[in-house]
Amino acid sequence: MEWLEKQKNLIDFSIQSLIRRFSKNALILIIFVSLVFAVASVLFLTGSLTSEMMSSSEELPDITVQRILGGRQVNIPASYQDRIETLSGVDAVEGRLWGYYYLSELQANFTVFGMDLGQLEEGEYQKIINWNASLPKQNNQDFRMIIGQGVYQMLKKLHSEGSYLFFQPSWDVPLPFEVIGHFKAETSLQSNDLLVIQTEGARMVLEIPEDEFTDMAVHVPNPEEVETIALKIRRMFPELRTVTKAQIQRTYHSVFSWKSGFVLTTLLASLFAFLILIWDKASGLSAEEKREIGILKAIGWDTDVILKVKLWEGLILSGSSCFLGILLSYAYIYWLEAPVLRNIFIGWSTIYPSFELKPEVDLKYVMLIVTFSVVPYSAVTIFPAWKAAITDADTIMRNTG
Amino acid sequence: MIDALEAVDVTKVYNQGKLSEVFPVIDVSLKIQGGSMVVLKGPSGSGKTTLLAMLGCHVKPNRGEVILNGKKVSKLPEKFMNAHKRDHIGFIFQQFQLIPDLCVMDNIMLPLLPMGIGRSRQIRLAEKQLEFLDLLHRKQFKVRNLSGGEQQRVAIARALVNHPNIILADEPTAHLDSRLTDFFLKRMKQLKESGHTIVMASHDPLVYDNPDIDQVVEMKDGRIVS
Ligand SMILES: Nc1ncnc2c1ncn2[C@@H]1O[C@H](COP(=O)(O)OP(=O)(O)OP(=O)(O)O)[C@@H](O)[C@H]1O
Ligand SMILES: [Mg+2]
């Protein structure tokens, strides 16, 4: 009870002291909060994006097969499909159609993906698309498409969100496409600049002959077999390149950790500056603070009690800064959707993906931030206090008020 | 009755071995009876403050022994010496040594904080001293806004708040006019009558010539001359 009362008294005194030296502490608080905010934002964003990428990459094919000739990726003849399917362990091989289309009005490249839109009209996929209800029944099923959120927003500005006319100078006639729906914003990370076009229409837009595909997706049910099957495919067709899901995930991982590493290094420089500042602020106890420590000692406070008070001061100041910084970065990333920083991470593209970041605070990162802010700060503040507290109490009696 | 405070052959050296070596107190022995009021007098630099600081457990003597209520305290490790100081001694510093940004009450309660005394009891103890020193009306004032005489009373209240049985005061009347000096000495007399032991360092005749003083110890060049 008495012990508790004592701790309470000391903490009260620490808080009172912090408030008393408001301007000095406010400065440290502001700098501290900004730094924690910056570091926490980078860490949280990296974590959030990595897990977002990881979960979306789960839907990638187990093996993607590309045909490389002369160092370039070229179309794969449809005949390869059956031969790969004969390999044991392979469940299915799916020929894929995709490419890019340059929309001159928007001065931007979009990803065109060909598939049977019928697949999207049923099951789970149905829910991620805003279907265009007002559409009259299409006469030509081949000229239908579903577009990404970013494309939709841009076409809307051109009042062309219901239908779009594809044209290339080499074509005889333009190809009129009906927009039957657009992807919801949640899927933007994957679908933002996407035009999903009915297979036959996609072949026309991408100019891919009837018996060829852009690449192929190989489904392998047993993850253990993926590497050996990839090897077999490369043996069977030396001009084929295989990319496994694991390889892509590793790439995502390293890209984000590289980027966060880069940003963190820049932050480290400012962290260093901050440490110098607090070292200066904290180690050079003001004459007033030194005198106060002398007074406390002279009226019978033990050295360890004085250090406890100073430690509390450091912990309260750095702890609340840390808390505030983390809170701000949480708000910045998950409410404001990380302006500026997201562009560094996702890249500056013509259309910024407007996906929502899922709130996800990794305790590991919080611990990391706390250990690298609260701990060194408190240590740095306690040292000069200790130096002042071990000097003889009699010096105080020689100080004139 | 045992002596409340005793110095046995105490010597203090500063800057030992250096060119600036000084011996502010040399081989001083002194017995202070419990419940008495004693004045240390002597010219400036004669070692009054240094002796008082050793008696008050602020400074350890280089040689000799300080005995507090029959206990040899001056050779104890700091933490234990400190504990004796807290329990028995109230020290009034020449320059008050108050925290100017804190209010009167907070200054007076300062010694109570590490003792684990609850807030309401701290307030009661502090108010009692302010009442005794006729300063209750200033309790919420910041110390920096007080007059010298008021600050001095705050310093006394802080020294007394913990009910020490020994009160040491270094030049307590240096900042006071004769009326306040009189008030101060009356209060000291009251404390003495209630059993406190009081030692004051002073070169103020109003203090050492006061009839209530039991003993005047005169110092010169670090030694007791009478
Ligand atoms: N910490 C110290 N370091 C160096 N010299 C000191 C120290 N403390 C005291 N002295 C010296 O010791 C001598 C005695 O000092 P002390 O303060 O005890 O005298 P005093 O009798 O209280 O004088 P005053 O009446 O002026 O207050 C002085 O010469 C002083 O310079
Ligand atoms: Mg003196």
Digit-coded pLDDT (tens) for A331-390: 888 888 777 776 666 654 444 444 556 666 778 778 888 887 788 788 877 887 887 777
Q: Which of A295, A301, A396 lies at the smallest CB-CB distance from B99? A: A295
The pLDDT value recorded for residue A363 is 81
Tell me what pLDDT residue A50 has. Answer: 75
pLDDT band at A285 (very low <50, low <70, confident <90, very high): confident
Q: What's chain A's average pLDDT?
A: 82
Mean pLDDT of A73-83: 91
Q: Assign A124 a pLDDT band (cuts: 50, 70, 90).
A: confident
Q: Identify all chain B residues contacting A1, using CB atoms and an 8 Å cutoff.
A: 116
Residue-level pLDDT at B156: 93
ipTM score assigned to the predicted complex: 0.91
pLDDT at A383: 80
Across the interface, whether the CB atoms of B118 and A5 are under 8 A apart is answered yes
Contact A300 B86 (CB under 8 A): yes
pLDDT at A399: 54
Q: What is the pTM of this model?
A: 0.73
Hey, how many other C-beta atoms are within 10 angstroms of the C-beta on A182? Answer: 25
Give which of B42, B44, B40 is closest to B53, Cα–Cα.
B40
- CA B176 to ligand 1 center in whole angstroms: 22
Pocket test for ligand 1, best of A395, A396, A397, A398 (most atoms within 8 A of CB): A398
The answer, yes or no, to whether any atom of ligand 1 lies below 6 A from the CB of B152, is no
- B→A contacts (Cβ < 8 Å), by residue, are 49-50, 53, 58-59, 78-79, 82, 85-86, 91, 93-99, 101-102, 106, 110-119, 122, 158, 170
Per-range mean pLDDT, top range of A21-25, A232-236, B123-127: B123-127
pLDDT of residue A401: 41
Average pLDDT over residues A1-27: 89
> Which residues on A lie below 8 Å from B53 (Cβ)?
394, 397
Query: Does residue A400 belong to the interface with chain B, where contact is any CB pair within 8 Å?
Result: yes
**Distance between B103 CA and the closest CA of chain A, angstroms:** 11
Can you tell me the mean pLDDT for A155-169?
Answer: 83
Q: Decide if A397 and B94 are in contact by the 8 Å CB cutoff.
A: yes
Q: How far lies B124's CA from each of A320, B114, B130, B143, in Å?
A: 33, 17, 10, 19
Using a 10 angstrom Cβ sphere, with 0-12 exposed, 13-18 middle and 19 or more buried, the burial of residue A88 is: exposed
For the record, the structure tokens of A19 come out as 């408030």
Chain A: closest CA distance from residue B6 (Å)? 19
Q: From CA A364, how far away is CA A371, in angstroms rounded?
A: 11
- Pick the residue whose CA is nearest to atom 29 on ligand 1: B45
Q: Which amino acid is at B92?
A: I
A20: tokens are 């008393």
SS3 A288: helix
Interface check A386 vs B, CB under 8 A: no
Higher pLDDT pick, A129 / B212 = B212
pLDDT of residue A395: 64
Q: Are A177 and A135 in contact (CB under 8 A)?
A: no
| CA separation for the pair B147, B135 (Å, rounded) | 12
CB proximity list for A353: less than 8 A, separation 6 or greater = A150, A188, A189, A192, A193, A346
Model confidence band, residue A138 (pLDDT cutoffs 50, 70, 90): low
Task: Give me the residues of chain B with pLDDT under 50, please.
Answer: none
Are A192 and A158 contacting, i.e. CB atoms less than 8 angstroms apart?
A: no
* A251 vs A245: CA distance, rounded Å: 10
- Taking a 5 Å cut-off on Cβ, the residues next to ion ligand 2 are B 49
Chain B residue with CA closest to A393: the answer is B58
Q: What is the residue with the minimal CA distance to atom 27 of ligand 1?
A: B44
Task: Report the distance separating Cα B1 and Cα A24, nearest Å.
Answer: 54
- pLDDT of A212 strictly over 90: yes
Per-residue confidence (pLDDT) for residue A348, from 0 to 100? 45
Tens of pLDDT, residues B100-139:
999 999 999 999 999 989 999 999 999 999 999 999 999 9
Q: Please check the confidence at residue A320 and state whether its pLDDT lies above 80.
A: yes
What is the pLDDT averaged over residues A210-227? 91
Q: Which of B12, B15, B22, B58 to mutate to test the pocket of ligand 1 (most atoms within 8 A of CB)?
A: B22
Which ligand 1 atom is the nearest neighbour of the CA of B201?
Answer: 22
Q: Is A392 on the interface with B (CB under 8 A)?
A: yes
The more confident residue out of B200 and A289 is B200
